[in-house]
Structure 1
């Protein structure tokens, strides 16, 4: 019985400390983000990697289990790029990075954020394609990527996002066709080819919202 008692105690210990391990991992992910960011106005000065978890940091919101659920860095005068570490914020629900000067490609690892409800990254300098991995974000309701430098087409895989309510990719350099299945089927438009045609200018200034 003694060995069983030891195993039971060890499992209880792991359950007790698992939130700390999780939040520490999330803190590491956010610290990695900070290392990529140029913070001209010191909005990230409270991001101290020596703390047990990031829940006391400004612009970070946690739930009752000390999991990071919001990252609010919109209009924060930051620049730099994003890396794959953001995909480690498993419980993140709101990713707010709008109106900054962030450049580079959007990491495909953001497709790992299964709890994400809102992703606002408009008004930056993101380039490259919209990641197909976004099709894994089944809880996503708001996706705003407008006013960037994105290229390529709208991934057809996004038609699987049945909860998507707002989709804005205006003022980019997108080409291809507009999906008509899934949430895109509620938009009152035909499938247009919008690269190098008169329709491109129209689509490039269009916001998609099912209730309109």
Structure 2
């Protein structure tokens, strides 16, 4: 190898190494920026009379880990939103689906309106989705069935309509699901986490232990929801 060739080889190797190092720094920054964008979109759509989101302003502090009611992991990625009972009103932003490290989304006890964004189905690390006691309307997105990590799903006391998506019955880790006090209709999916509900318990809303662990599934307050018969995707 001539000196010129060796020099060129070293230069190329150095350039590749530099690019790899820069990429390793830029990737976490880009991910954190997506978290900021998602939270900013949520805040812009909400009315916040109690000032719970006062410091959610990237023009002042760009680090969402310092914002009220936000928890992050060691990589400065958002893992938890605790926004319960702050009198928030308005829609849930579809951009919340960008929070790919989110584990807990707790927005219960507000006056959230509009529909549940189907983009939430992209939250593949989510453990708890608690939207109870709001004014959310429309259908339950079938995309929530993509969240295989989900253990707790609470959408009770809203204005949800349509059937319970069959995809939710395939959630392998689901332990608690509360659909009560909505306007859901059709047949309860008779499989997976929602199966083996005795008809007499459909009103009492508690599913007995199955497969060695306890499930807690609630359906009351949905007069058009019933058990038995073929599953119909529309009602």
Report the TM-score when normalising by structure 2: 0.81
Specify the SS of the correspondent of 1:176.
strand
Candidates 59, 83, 90, aligned match of 2:93: 83
Distance 1:31 1:42 in 2: 15
Which of 131, 146, 164 is equivalent to 1:154? 164
Q: How many matched pairs?
A: 201
- Superposition TM-score, scaled by structure 1 size: 0.89
List structure 1 runs of 4+ shifted beyond 6 angstroms.
none
Structure 1's 119 and 63: CA in aligned 2 closer, same or farther, altered over 3 A? same
Q: If you compute each CA radius of gyration, which structure gives the higher value, 1 or 2?
A: 2
Q: Is the 8 A contact 2:94 2:120 kept in 1?
A: yes
Q: Residues 133-189 of structure 1: CA distance to partner in whole angstroms, max 9, x if unpaired? A: 01100000000000000000111111210100000010000100111211112x532
Q: Is the 8 A contact 2:163 2:186 kept in 1?
A: yes
CA distance in structure 1 between the partners assigned to 2:133 and 2:191 by the alignment: 27
1:52 counterpart (62, 65, 70):
62
Question: 5+ residue gaps in structure 2?
Answer: 1-9, 217-235
Q: Secondary structure at the match of 1:143?
A: strand
Q: How far apart, CA to CA, are the structure 2 residues paired with 1:53 and 1:11?
A: 25
2:29 maps to 1:20:
yes
1:182 alignment partner in structure 2: 192
In structure 2, the residue matched to 1:66 is: 76
Q: Equivalents in 2 of 1:163, 1:155: separation in Å?
A: 16
Name the residue aligned to 1:111.
121
